[in-house]
Amino acid sequence: MTAALPIERIAELSRDVLDRVTDVVVDMKTPLELALATVLAGGHVLFEDVPGLGKTLAARSLAAALGLDFRRIQCTPDLLPSDITGSFVYAPSSGEFVFRPGPLFAGLVLADEINRTTPKTQSSFLEAMAEGHVTVEGSHFELPSPFHVIATSNPIEFEGTYALPEAQLDRFMVRLSVGYLSPENEQRMLMSRAHRRHDAAQIEPVVDADTLLAMQGGVEAVHVDPDIARYCVDLAVATRRDQSVQVGASPRGSQGLMLVARAVAVMAGRDYVTPDDVKRVAVPVLAHRLSLTPQAWANGVQAEHIVAGVLGAVPGPPTVRATAE
Protein backbone atom coordinates (compact mmCIF):
# COMPACT_ATOMS: atom_id res chain seq x y z
CA MET A 1 0.00 0.00 0.00
CA THR A 2 1.34 3.44 -0.99
CA ALA A 3 2.29 5.64 1.97
CA ALA A 4 0.32 8.88 2.30
CA LEU A 5 2.08 12.15 1.57
CA PRO A 6 2.15 15.00 4.13
CA ILE A 7 -0.25 17.90 3.68
CA GLU A 8 2.45 20.41 2.75
CA ARG A 9 3.76 18.17 -0.02
CA ILE A 10 0.28 17.56 -1.42
CA ALA A 11 -0.40 21.30 -1.51
CA GLU A 12 2.92 21.91 -3.27
CA LEU A 13 2.33 19.23 -5.89
CA SER A 14 -1.23 20.47 -6.44
CA ARG A 15 0.04 23.96 -7.16
CA ASP A 16 2.61 22.55 -9.59
CA VAL A 17 -0.07 20.52 -11.40
CA LEU A 18 -2.35 23.54 -11.72
CA ASP A 19 0.50 25.78 -12.88
CA ARG A 20 1.45 23.25 -15.53
CA VAL A 21 -2.13 22.89 -16.78
CA THR A 22 -3.03 26.61 -16.72
CA ASP A 23 -0.02 27.32 -18.92
CA VAL A 24 -1.98 25.55 -21.66
CA VAL A 25 -5.64 25.86 -20.62
CA VAL A 26 -6.55 29.54 -20.49
CA ASP A 27 -8.99 31.14 -18.02
CA MET A 28 -10.19 27.94 -16.34
CA LYS A 29 -8.46 28.24 -12.98
CA THR A 30 -11.52 27.73 -10.76
CA PRO A 31 -13.00 24.76 -12.68
CA LEU A 32 -9.55 23.15 -12.86
CA GLU A 33 -9.01 23.63 -9.10
CA LEU A 34 -12.35 21.96 -8.37
CA ALA A 35 -11.66 19.19 -10.89
CA LEU A 36 -8.28 18.48 -9.27
CA ALA A 37 -9.88 18.57 -5.81
CA THR A 38 -12.43 16.03 -7.02
CA VAL A 39 -9.69 13.73 -8.29
CA LEU A 40 -7.85 14.05 -4.98
CA ALA A 41 -11.12 13.16 -3.26
CA GLY A 42 -11.39 10.04 -5.43
CA GLY A 43 -14.39 11.22 -7.45
CA HIS A 44 -15.59 11.79 -11.00
CA VAL A 45 -16.27 15.10 -12.79
CA LEU A 46 -19.09 16.19 -15.11
CA PHE A 47 -18.47 19.26 -17.28
CA GLU A 48 -21.79 20.59 -18.55
CA ASP A 49 -21.32 23.37 -21.09
CA VAL A 50 -21.56 24.22 -24.78
CA PRO A 51 -18.98 22.77 -27.19
CA GLY A 52 -15.70 24.48 -28.00
CA LEU A 53 -14.78 25.82 -24.57
CA GLY A 54 -11.73 23.62 -23.97
CA LYS A 55 -13.21 20.86 -21.82
CA THR A 56 -11.42 18.11 -23.75
CA LEU A 57 -8.13 20.02 -23.59
CA ALA A 58 -8.60 20.52 -19.84
CA ALA A 59 -9.19 16.80 -19.23
CA ARG A 60 -6.28 15.74 -21.43
CA SER A 61 -3.94 18.31 -19.81
CA LEU A 62 -4.95 17.30 -16.29
CA ALA A 63 -4.32 13.64 -17.10
CA ALA A 64 -0.90 14.49 -18.54
CA ALA A 65 0.13 16.59 -15.52
CA LEU A 66 -0.99 13.80 -13.18
CA GLY A 67 0.92 11.18 -15.16
CA LEU A 68 -2.22 9.14 -15.82
CA ASP A 69 -2.94 6.97 -18.83
CA PHE A 70 -5.59 8.90 -20.79
CA ARG A 71 -8.36 7.58 -23.02
CA ARG A 72 -11.06 9.54 -24.83
CA ILE A 73 -14.41 7.94 -25.65
CA GLN A 74 -16.57 9.80 -28.15
CA CYS A 75 -20.09 8.90 -27.08
CA THR A 76 -22.56 8.30 -29.92
CA PRO A 77 -25.99 6.61 -30.14
CA ASP A 78 -24.46 3.49 -31.72
CA LEU A 79 -21.80 3.05 -29.01
CA LEU A 80 -22.15 -0.39 -27.42
CA PRO A 81 -21.17 -1.39 -23.87
CA SER A 82 -18.51 -3.71 -25.29
CA ASP A 83 -16.98 -0.75 -27.13
CA ILE A 84 -15.98 0.78 -23.81
CA THR A 85 -15.61 -2.19 -21.48
CA GLY A 86 -13.84 -4.53 -23.89
CA SER A 87 -14.82 -7.99 -25.08
CA PHE A 88 -13.64 -11.57 -25.46
CA VAL A 89 -11.88 -12.31 -28.75
CA TYR A 90 -10.68 -15.58 -30.17
CA ALA A 91 -6.91 -16.14 -30.03
CA PRO A 92 -5.89 -18.61 -32.77
CA SER A 93 -2.53 -19.29 -31.09
CA SER A 94 -4.15 -20.73 -27.97
CA GLY A 95 -7.49 -21.73 -29.39
CA GLU A 96 -9.24 -19.87 -26.55
CA PHE A 97 -11.21 -16.67 -26.08
CA VAL A 98 -9.23 -14.01 -24.24
CA PHE A 99 -10.41 -10.70 -22.83
CA ARG A 100 -9.36 -7.58 -24.72
CA PRO A 101 -9.73 -4.51 -22.41
CA GLY A 102 -11.63 -1.49 -23.73
CA PRO A 103 -10.83 2.21 -23.27
CA LEU A 104 -12.31 2.24 -19.75
CA PHE A 105 -9.10 0.58 -18.59
CA ALA A 106 -7.19 3.84 -18.09
CA GLY A 107 -6.30 6.16 -15.24
CA LEU A 108 -8.43 9.02 -16.56
CA VAL A 109 -11.22 8.50 -19.08
CA LEU A 110 -12.89 11.37 -20.95
CA ALA A 111 -16.47 10.47 -21.90
CA ASP A 112 -17.18 13.16 -24.46
CA GLU A 113 -20.88 14.07 -24.83
CA ILE A 114 -21.93 11.26 -22.53
CA ASN A 115 -25.60 12.16 -22.95
CA ARG A 116 -25.43 11.08 -26.63
CA THR A 117 -25.03 7.39 -25.83
CA THR A 118 -27.84 5.01 -24.96
CA PRO A 119 -28.95 4.14 -21.43
CA LYS A 120 -27.55 0.62 -21.87
CA THR A 121 -24.05 1.99 -22.51
CA GLN A 122 -24.46 4.62 -19.80
CA SER A 123 -25.13 1.77 -17.36
CA SER A 124 -21.66 0.41 -18.16
CA PHE A 125 -20.20 3.78 -17.24
CA LEU A 126 -22.26 3.73 -14.04
CA GLU A 127 -20.92 0.32 -13.00
CA ALA A 128 -17.34 1.41 -13.66
CA MET A 129 -17.75 4.67 -11.74
CA ALA A 130 -19.61 3.11 -8.83
CA GLU A 131 -17.83 -0.22 -8.43
CA GLY A 132 -14.39 0.22 -9.99
CA HIS A 133 -14.85 -2.81 -12.22
CA VAL A 134 -16.68 -3.90 -15.36
CA THR A 135 -18.70 -7.03 -16.04
CA VAL A 136 -18.32 -8.74 -19.41
CA GLU A 137 -20.20 -11.97 -20.11
CA GLY A 138 -20.52 -12.65 -16.40
CA SER A 139 -16.84 -12.08 -15.61
CA HIS A 140 -15.62 -9.18 -13.44
CA PHE A 141 -12.52 -7.23 -14.38
CA GLU A 142 -11.00 -4.69 -12.00
CA LEU A 143 -10.19 -1.25 -13.38
CA PRO A 144 -6.80 0.34 -12.69
CA SER A 145 -6.24 2.44 -9.60
CA PRO A 146 -6.50 5.37 -9.64
CA PHE A 147 -9.49 5.47 -11.99
CA HIS A 148 -11.41 8.66 -12.76
CA VAL A 149 -14.01 9.71 -15.30
CA ILE A 150 -14.35 13.23 -16.66
CA ALA A 151 -17.51 13.47 -18.75
CA THR A 152 -18.90 16.30 -20.86
CA SER A 153 -22.53 17.05 -21.60
CA ASN A 154 -24.17 19.63 -23.85
CA PRO A 155 -26.96 21.35 -21.87
CA ILE A 156 -28.70 23.07 -24.82
CA GLU A 157 -28.93 20.35 -27.48
CA PHE A 158 -31.60 17.70 -26.91
CA GLU A 159 -32.08 16.03 -30.31
CA GLY A 160 -30.35 12.66 -30.38
CA THR A 161 -29.48 12.74 -26.67
CA TYR A 162 -30.49 10.68 -23.65
CA ALA A 163 -30.92 12.33 -20.28
CA LEU A 164 -28.54 11.02 -17.66
CA PRO A 165 -30.47 9.08 -15.00
CA GLU A 166 -30.40 10.40 -11.45
CA ALA A 167 -28.39 7.39 -10.28
CA GLN A 168 -25.62 8.22 -12.73
CA LEU A 169 -25.68 11.96 -11.99
CA ASP A 170 -25.33 11.07 -8.33
CA ARG A 171 -22.08 9.23 -9.09
CA PHE A 172 -20.46 12.40 -10.39
CA MET A 173 -18.97 14.10 -7.36
CA VAL A 174 -19.18 17.53 -8.99
CA ARG A 175 -20.76 19.18 -12.00
CA LEU A 176 -18.78 22.10 -13.36
CA SER A 177 -19.35 24.80 -15.94
CA VAL A 178 -16.56 26.49 -17.89
CA GLY A 179 -18.20 29.53 -19.48
CA TYR A 180 -16.90 31.69 -22.29
CA LEU A 181 -13.47 33.27 -22.13
CA SER A 182 -13.10 36.99 -21.68
CA PRO A 183 -12.01 38.75 -24.90
CA GLU A 184 -8.54 39.27 -23.43
CA ASN A 185 -8.10 35.62 -22.53
CA GLU A 186 -9.54 34.48 -25.86
CA GLN A 187 -6.90 36.61 -27.57
CA ARG A 188 -4.27 35.08 -25.27
CA MET A 189 -5.44 31.61 -26.30
CA LEU A 190 -5.14 32.50 -30.00
CA MET A 191 -1.63 33.89 -29.56
CA SER A 192 -0.59 30.82 -27.59
CA ARG A 193 -1.77 28.62 -30.48
CA ALA A 194 0.04 30.82 -33.00
CA HIS A 195 3.32 30.63 -31.09
CA ARG A 196 2.99 26.87 -30.62
CA ARG A 197 2.56 26.31 -34.39
CA HIS A 198 0.60 23.10 -33.89
CA ASP A 199 -2.61 22.02 -32.15
CA ALA A 200 -1.14 19.58 -29.67
CA ALA A 201 0.11 21.07 -26.39
CA GLN A 202 2.80 19.05 -24.65
CA ILE A 203 2.54 18.86 -20.86
CA GLU A 204 5.19 17.09 -18.85
CA PRO A 205 3.87 15.06 -15.88
CA VAL A 206 4.29 16.54 -12.42
CA VAL A 207 3.41 13.30 -10.59
CA ASP A 208 2.64 9.71 -11.55
CA ALA A 209 -0.18 7.32 -10.67
CA ASP A 210 1.54 6.05 -7.51
CA THR A 211 2.20 9.60 -6.30
CA LEU A 212 -1.43 10.51 -6.96
CA LEU A 213 -2.51 7.57 -4.82
CA ALA A 214 -0.20 8.83 -2.07
CA MET A 215 -1.76 12.30 -2.39
CA GLN A 216 -5.23 10.80 -2.11
CA GLY A 217 -4.08 8.90 0.97
CA GLY A 218 -2.96 12.18 2.53
CA VAL A 219 -6.37 13.73 1.87
CA GLU A 220 -7.99 10.82 3.70
CA ALA A 221 -6.01 11.75 6.81
CA VAL A 222 -7.48 15.27 7.02
CA HIS A 223 -9.41 16.02 10.21
CA VAL A 224 -13.13 16.75 9.89
CA ASP A 225 -14.76 18.35 12.92
CA PRO A 226 -18.17 16.89 13.89
CA ASP A 227 -19.65 20.38 13.50
CA ILE A 228 -18.45 20.46 9.88
CA ALA A 229 -19.94 17.03 9.21
CA ARG A 230 -23.25 18.20 10.68
CA TYR A 231 -23.10 21.35 8.52
CA CYS A 232 -22.76 19.18 5.42
CA VAL A 233 -25.76 17.12 6.53
CA ASP A 234 -27.83 20.24 7.30
CA LEU A 235 -27.19 21.63 3.81
CA ALA A 236 -28.24 18.38 2.16
CA VAL A 237 -31.35 18.10 4.34
CA ALA A 238 -32.32 21.68 3.53
CA THR A 239 -32.40 20.85 -0.19
CA ARG A 240 -34.85 18.03 0.52
CA ARG A 241 -37.22 20.43 2.29
CA ASP A 242 -37.24 23.14 -0.38
CA GLN A 243 -40.69 23.51 -1.98
CA SER A 244 -39.19 23.71 -5.48
CA VAL A 245 -37.37 20.39 -5.08
CA GLN A 246 -39.02 17.06 -5.74
CA VAL A 247 -36.01 14.96 -4.74
CA GLY A 248 -33.21 16.59 -2.75
CA ALA A 249 -29.55 15.73 -2.33
CA SER A 250 -28.90 12.17 -1.21
CA PRO A 251 -26.59 11.16 1.65
CA ARG A 252 -23.98 10.67 -1.07
CA GLY A 253 -24.35 14.41 -1.65
CA SER A 254 -23.50 15.31 1.93
CA GLN A 255 -20.59 12.88 1.78
CA GLY A 256 -19.41 14.49 -1.45
CA LEU A 257 -19.49 17.88 0.28
CA MET A 258 -17.20 16.64 3.01
CA LEU A 259 -14.82 14.81 0.65
CA VAL A 260 -14.32 17.66 -1.83
CA ALA A 261 -14.10 20.25 0.96
CA ARG A 262 -11.41 18.12 2.55
CA ALA A 263 -9.42 18.09 -0.70
CA VAL A 264 -9.83 21.86 -1.07
CA ALA A 265 -8.47 22.31 2.45
CA VAL A 266 -5.41 20.18 1.62
CA MET A 267 -4.76 22.14 -1.56
CA ALA A 268 -4.72 25.25 0.63
CA GLY A 269 -2.15 23.61 2.92
CA ARG A 270 -4.49 22.89 5.83
CA ASP A 271 -5.12 19.62 7.65
CA TYR A 272 -8.62 20.64 8.72
CA VAL A 273 -11.82 21.74 6.96
CA THR A 274 -13.50 25.11 7.46
CA PRO A 275 -17.10 26.15 6.73
CA ASP A 276 -15.79 28.27 3.85
CA ASP A 277 -14.37 25.12 2.23
CA VAL A 278 -17.83 23.56 2.34
CA LYS A 279 -19.50 26.71 1.00
CA ARG A 280 -17.05 26.92 -1.89
CA VAL A 281 -17.90 23.45 -3.19
CA ALA A 282 -21.61 23.30 -2.26
CA VAL A 283 -23.05 24.38 -5.63
CA PRO A 284 -20.93 22.09 -7.85
CA VAL A 285 -21.43 19.16 -5.45
CA LEU A 286 -25.17 19.50 -4.73
CA ALA A 287 -26.92 21.28 -7.62
CA HIS A 288 -26.88 18.38 -10.10
CA ARG A 289 -28.34 16.04 -7.49
CA LEU A 290 -31.61 17.99 -7.18
CA SER A 291 -34.75 17.02 -9.10
CA LEU A 292 -37.05 20.01 -9.38
CA THR A 293 -40.84 19.90 -9.30
CA PRO A 294 -42.55 20.30 -12.69
CA GLN A 295 -43.85 23.72 -11.64
CA ALA A 296 -40.39 24.93 -10.62
CA TRP A 297 -38.91 23.60 -13.85
CA ALA A 298 -41.60 25.35 -15.90
CA ASN A 299 -40.93 28.61 -14.03
CA GLY A 300 -37.25 28.46 -14.91
CA VAL A 301 -35.99 27.80 -11.38
CA GLN A 302 -32.30 26.81 -11.37
CA ALA A 303 -30.92 24.18 -9.00
CA GLU A 304 -27.83 26.35 -8.51
CA HIS A 305 -30.00 29.14 -7.16
CA ILE A 306 -31.69 26.77 -4.73
CA VAL A 307 -28.31 25.64 -3.34
CA ALA A 308 -27.20 29.27 -3.08
CA GLY A 309 -30.37 30.04 -1.13
CA VAL A 310 -29.75 27.08 1.16
CA LEU A 311 -26.24 28.37 1.85
CA GLY A 312 -27.71 31.69 2.92
CA ALA A 313 -30.39 30.12 5.10
CA VAL A 314 -28.52 27.35 6.92
CA PRO A 315 -26.30 28.70 9.72
CA GLY A 316 -22.69 27.56 9.73
CA PRO A 317 -21.04 25.86 12.69
CA PRO A 318 -20.20 28.26 15.54
CA THR A 319 -16.71 26.91 16.14
CA VAL A 320 -14.35 24.60 14.29
CA ARG A 321 -11.40 22.94 15.94
CA ALA A 322 -8.30 23.25 13.80
CA THR A 323 -6.84 19.85 14.63
CA ALA A 324 -8.02 16.52 15.90
CA GLU A 325 -8.02 16.07 19.61
Q: CA 214, CA 22: separation in Å to the nearest integer? A: 23
What band does 320 get if pLDDT is binned at 50, 70 and 90?
Answer: low
Name residue 85's amino acid.
T
Per-residue pLDDT, averaged over 160-181, amounts to 83
**What is the Cβ-side half-sphere exposure of residue 206, based on CA atoms within 13 angstroms?**
20
d(CA 169, CA 153): 11
Which of these CATH numbers, 3.20.20.60, 1.10.1040.10, 3.40.1010.20, 1.10.8.80, describes 222-313?
A: 1.10.8.80
Check residue 153 and give its pLDDT.
85
For the chain, percent of residues with pLDDT exceeding 70: 95
Q: Give yes or no for residue 173 having a pLDDT over 80.
A: yes
pLDDT confidence of residue 222: 93
| pLDDT value, residue 159 | 59
Higher pLDDT, residue 1 or 131: 131
Q: What is the pLDDT of residues 62-120, one digit of tens each?
A: 999 999 999 999 999 999 999 999 999 988 888 888 999 999 999 999 999 898 888 88
Better-predicted residue by pLDDT, 156 or 32: 32
Q: Is the pLDDT of residue 325 over 80?
A: no
- Is 290:235 a contact under the CB 8 Å cutoff? no
User: Per mean pLDDT, which range of 34-38, 88-92, 259-263 is the poorest?
Assistant: 88-92
Confidence of residue 200 (pLDDT cuts 50, 70, 90): low
The per-residue pLDDT for 322 is 44
Q: What is the Cα–Cα distance from 17 to 39, expressed in whole angstroms?
A: 12
SS3 111: strand
Distances (CA, A) of 256 to 50, 170, 171, 292: 25, 10, 10, 20
Q: Is the pLDDT of residue 253 over 90?
A: yes
Q: What is the pLDDT of residue 95?
A: 85
Query: How high is the pLDDT of residue 323?
Result: 41
Residue spans of the domains in the chain: they are 7-212, 222-313
What is the average per-residue pLDDT within 248-253?
93
Q: What is the CATH number of domain 7-212?
A: 3.40.50.300
The pTM of the full predicted model, rounded to 2 decimals, is: 0.91
Strands 291-292 and 86-91: unpaired
CB atoms within 10 A of CB 185: 13
Residue of 304 and 156 predicted with greater confidence = 304
The region of weakest confidence among 24-33, 89-98, 149-158 is 149-158
Higher-confidence residue of 180 and 241: namely 241
